[in-house]
Amino acid sequence: MAESKKGLGGITNRVLDILFPPNCIVCGKERFWCCQNCLDAIECVNRDPCARCGSLKFDHECKEIYSPLSTTYYLDGLVAMTFYHNPQFRRLLHGLKYKYATCLIPSVSQIMNRYKNQRLDPWPWAGESRLALQAVIGSPKRIRSRGFDQAELLRDLVKEEFLPWAETVSLLDRRPSIQAQADLKPGPLRNANVRGAFSLKDVGAAELPKRVVLVDDVFTSGATMFDAARALRSAGVEKVYGLVLAIGA
């Protein structure tokens, strides 16, 4: 069901909600796609993860993820809003990604809004006068099967909730992966599965933004986001930030 509540589409959705009442995807409560109690149980991250390894600890030994041979890291900052291990959030995200339930987008928007209101630290990109928002696009096969790319939906929500003045861009192509990342444990196999997966579309130098925020749903090993950042940096983007809904395996 579409998320819009405006115009004819919104009227259609309300009629369908009356004829086929929604049930909370987490607890089954009637009249909600995700009820307020379940949304309130999704806690917010209270500090930015390390942009090199994703750790949330103040004192940690940073371990490079993307390549054991490289000394270059590809993110200038990383923001994560919640934790992937949270069962309520996991059910919500799986509903969006694997059950194609775009009716859950307003619930995701509520999570973003709550995180924004609770955040105390400056954003990693504070002071930037121009930013571009780029989705970490999914595999072509997944996009065809779903009919949408959840990363692009999230990018549009990020623009609405956090960065209305930023430009949305579509700079990246992605080759098919050998295997779905979610089917692989974090580690060398997952890293190798996406290494070189992203490339830049044929855009002129004048069209290439200098500051980009990459938007994705989950940061686990970081391999996917780092490879997208690598493609942008190799093309001439000067700073790349990451923003994800959730962090963790």
The model's pLDDT over 189-212, given as tens digits with 9 standing for 90+, comes to: 555 567 788 999 987 766 799 999
CB 93 within 8 A of CB 217: yes
Q: State the amino acid at position 26 in one-letter form.
A: V
How many whole angstroms separate alpha carbon 55 and alpha carbon 82?
13
Any idea which residue has 């209305």 for tokens? 164
Instruction: Give the list of residues 6+ apart from residue 80 with CB closer than 8 angstroms, or none.
Output: 45, 48, 49, 54, 219, 243, 244, 245, 246, 247
Left, alpha or beta for 127 (phi > 0: left; psi -120 to 50: alpha)? left
Domain ranges of the chain: 42-247
How many whole angstroms separate alpha carbon 87 and alpha carbon 27?
11
Instruction: Give the list of residues 6+ apart from residue 224 with CB closer than 8 angstroms, or none.
Output: 136, 181, 194, 197, 216
How many whole angstroms separate alpha carbon 56 and alpha carbon 50?
6
Instruction: Give the list of residues 6+ apart from residue 18 with CB closer than 8 angstroms, or none.
Output: none
- Confidence (pLDDT) at 247: 96
How many whole angstroms separate alpha carbon 215 and alpha carbon 243?
5
The model's pLDDT over 93-115, given as tens digits with 9 standing for 90+, comes to: 999 998 889 999 999 999 999 99
- Confidence (pLDDT) at 52: 87
CB 205 within 8 A of CB 232: no
Q: State the amino acid at position 224 in one-letter form.
A: T
- Confidence (pLDDT) at 195: 76
* Mean residue pLDDT across the chain: 85
Any idea which residue has 């490339």 for tokens? 199
* Prediction pTM value: 0.84
- State which residues of the chain have pLDDT below 70: 1-20, 63-73, 177-193, 205-206
The model's pLDDT over 113-136, given as tens digits with 9 standing for 90+, comes to: 999 999 999 999 999 999 999 999
